[in-house]
């Protein structure tokens, strides 16, 4: 999960993370899964006064986060998300991490159980360069976004943007927004079938559609929120 939130050169936030940060409301409760060195969490704490938490697989990443005052635990998205209670966060972020996990389907399920919305970015294996390299050379493509050889990559599950959307459909997950992004993380002005061909990454905002299972009674939700408020310091770092 180390690829999560590496800062861009000069310590500025990576462009695709800025894109995600822009979609988060001030004061929200957020969980960054695969938070890397905590660049996004730091940015959000400063710019949006969020109550941020993180999970990171690499010990070096975790230690760097905690040494910067962030609330981060060492953990594995595949095994540790089950511990969080339902609806514990307004947003759960999974940035450039889904392809690293062993069971992406279960992870997505968990993300939307514990968060109201899920902000997720994935590398697009359907990009034309990937298709072109595979077709032309007959070898596993190495691109700027997918920059490792097949034997050397930590990535376990590649998918195309189309694949991902089909999975969301199967899981009954609502895609609130889909933002095609280039390799630097800039938003691309393309739509329709072009997205799966020309976007190097996809940023999605997911929400639960078939909920039945995901709604605690209103009274219970309110009680939980009040409890969080009681524990939160003044100054709005608790839930809105």
Of 3 and 74, nearer to other proteins (C-beta) is 74
Shortest distance, position 83 Cβ to other proteins, whole Å: 4
Among positions 193-232, residues that touch other proteins (CB under 8 A) are 224, 227-228, 230-232
Rounded CA-CA distance 90/214 in Å is 13
Shortest distance, position 166 Cβ to other proteins, whole Å: 31
What number of other Cβ atoms are within 10 A of residue 233's Cβ? 8
- CB 87 within 8 Å of CB 111: no
What number of other Cβ atoms are within 10 A of residue 94's Cβ? 30
Among positions 6-65, residues that touch other proteins (CB under 8 A) are 53, 59, 62-63, 65
The only residue of 75, 123, 126, 180 in contact with other proteins, by rule CB under 8 A: 75
Contact partners, residue 27, CB within 8 Å, separation at least 6: 48, 49, 50, 51, 236, 237, 238, 239, 240
- CB 24 within 8 Å of CB 48: yes
Of 3 and 63, nearer to other proteins (C-beta) is 63
Q: Which stretch binds other proteins (CB under 8 A): 16-24, 77-85, 134-142, 188-196?
A: 77-85
The only residue of 12, 25, 26, 69 in contact with other proteins, by rule CB under 8 A: 69
Cα 23 vs. chain centroid, distance in angstroms? 12
Count of residues that bind other proteins according to CB under 8 A = 30
- CB 68 within 8 Å of CB 41: no
The residues binding other proteins (CB under 8 A) are 53, 59, 62-63, 65-75, 80, 83-85, 88, 224, 227-228, 230-235, 237
């Amino acid at each position: 999960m180390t690829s999560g939130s590496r800062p861009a050169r000069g310590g500025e936030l990576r462009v695709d993370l800025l894109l995600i940060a822009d979609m988060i409301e001030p004061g929200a409760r957020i969980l960054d899964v695969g938070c890397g060195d905590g660049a996004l969490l730091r940015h959000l704490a400063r710019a949006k006064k969020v109550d941020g938490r993180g999970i990171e697989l690499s010990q070096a990443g975790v230690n760097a986060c905690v040494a910067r005052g962030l609330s981060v635990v060492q953990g594995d998205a595949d095994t540790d998300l089950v511990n969080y209670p339902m609806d514990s966060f307004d947003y759960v972020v999974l940035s450039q991490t889904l392809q690293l996990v062993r069971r992406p389907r279960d992870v997505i399920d968990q993300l939307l159980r514990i968060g109201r919305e899920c902000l997720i970015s994935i590398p697009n294996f359907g990009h034309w360069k990937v298709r072109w390299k595979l077709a032309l050379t007959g070898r596993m493509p190495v691109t700027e976004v997918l920059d490792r050889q097949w034997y050397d990559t930590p990535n376990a599950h590649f998918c195309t943007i189309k694949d991902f959307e089909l999975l969301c459909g199967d899981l009954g997950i609502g895609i609130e927004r889909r933002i095609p992004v280039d390799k630097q993380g800039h938003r691309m002005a393309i739509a329709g079938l072009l997205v799966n061909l020309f976007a190097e990454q996809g940023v999605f905002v997911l929400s639960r559609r078939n909920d039945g299972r995901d709604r605690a009674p209103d009274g219970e939700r309110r009680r939980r929120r009040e409890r969080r408020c009681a524990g939160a310091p003044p100054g709005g770092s608790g839930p809105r």
